[in-house]
Amino acid sequence: MRWWGIWTLFLVVAISYIDRINISILITDPQFLAHVGLTPGDRARQGLLATAFMAGYGVSSFVLTPFCAALFGVRRSLVAGLTLWGVVTFLSPLLHSYGLLLASRILLGVSEGPLFSLAASYIKAHFDSRENGKPNSLVNMGTGLGLAIGYPFVGYLVASHDWETSFHVLGLLNILLGIPLVLAFIRMPKVQTGMPAPRSLAEGVGHVGQIVRGALQTRYLGTVTLLTAAFLAYLWGSSNWLPAYLQQARGFSMREMGWLASLPQYASVLAVLLGGILIDRIPRPQVPLIFVGGSLGVALSVWLAIQATDRYSAAYLLTSANFFWGLMSPAIPSTVQHCARPEHVASAYGVVNGTGSLVAGFMPAVMGVVIGMTAASQGGGFFAGFGILIGTQAVVLLCGVWLWLRERSATHAS
């Protein structure tokens, strides 16, 4: 039953990522842009739609996660989140201005914020440190699968029907598929946090304070948070601008763009699984070396993609970059679960994922500004925009080396 819960979390994460990248497809549709008062050349405000989501997501992950862990529990929090983000998605076509759509993206981010922290709490409750690689990899595979399915699926809905249909279908998917799976398969042990269930709201708020204080004492919290911010900056920068890059900088049609944009995501799904298996097979002090090798692979692949003259070579090199990115993905929650106490896991991961997401959320907007400012250059500014992503991997590399040195030093001392 614990593995059925992992598969449920995998599907819920996949659904959430289809929701997130819906906008990245729609900004290539002139009717959608006209509906919200945008122009095809307004790159900064297009990128801000993704940044608005990440702002709500990051704050929610940091602020709401302790309350979810202490007052509501994993199961009820997931059901509430799925209900809210399903309703917000379904009603989004009724919003007739850019400002209202921006507000809805913030609310969607707020509703999805605690998801990964709740998943980390579930894994900590059912798996110990020496076997948490594969469950973490399966949950994180939902990221790649959601993006891989989302690009062609949303593209098909827009091409075959209209942009409003994409919102309606995704909203119903959250409620009709996600909620029944959570109710059926997510079960937490009676002692899931090391604390008794609160008997009153005041006692629950007290538990929240204890959880937050304990989470902030987790080993390597600052370093892992910085690493996560740089790690997620690559994901959000590349995934939000990849469809436009393939269509407008590399000249692919809408149909070609759909499957080419999904290739990097399938590569990350495979790599996440391999990364989880690797974590369970190497000594724990060697896990940070995954960040070192993965960041070097991502940086080199993106640099070669920018330099490539053949458009298919560029697409395949970006697929390679996502493979190296996926190798690192399960190592982040695995590290947090290894370092944090059971009662602090959800909140500690909320700090890591929330702060990291909040910082990384600015990457789509920053890339949009750079693309707009360098639009007259080669590749319509997209080459310069994607070049920023190389810098994020330098941060991941340095953090990985530091974690490896600290873990090796602690092992030698013990």
CA distance 56 to 52: 6
What number is the average pLDDT over the span 375-397? 83
Q: Is residue 44 part of a domain?
A: yes
Do the domain assignments include residue 191? no
Position 370 scores a pLDDT of: 85
Any domain includes 192? no
Residue 195 placed within a domain: no
197 domain-assigned: no
In this structure, what CATH number is given to the domain that contains residue 304? 1.20.1250.20
Given the structure tokens 């409003």, which residue do they identify? Answer: 164
| 194 belongs to a structural domain | no
173 found inside a domain: yes
pLDDT digits 0-9 by tens, 206-242: 555 665 666 677 788 889 999 999 999 998 888 878 8
Q: Give the structural domain span for 259.
A: 2-185+203-413
Please give the residue that has the higher pLDDT: either 128 or 12.
Answer: 12
Question: What b-and-e string marks burial along 155-180, b requiring 16 or more CB atoms within 10 Å of the CB?
Answer: bbbbeeeebbebbbbbbebbbeebbe
Which pLDDT value is given to residue 301?
94
For residue 395, the model assigns a pLDDT of 95
What pTM was estimated for this model as a whole?
Answer: 0.72
Does 179 have pLDDT greater than 90? yes
- Dihedral of CA atoms 205, 104, 360, 234 in degrees, nearest 10, equals 130
The tally of domains found in the chain comes to: 1
Whether residue 103 is contained in a domain is answered as yes
Task: Report yes or no: 336 and 231 within 8 Å, Cβ to Cβ.
Answer: no
- Picking from 151, 49, 150, 28, the residue whose alpha carbon sits closest to that of residue 367 is 49
281, 286, 291, 295 alpha-carbon torsion, rounded to 10°: -100
pLDDT of residue 71: 67
Cβ atoms 39, 328 nearer than 8 A: no
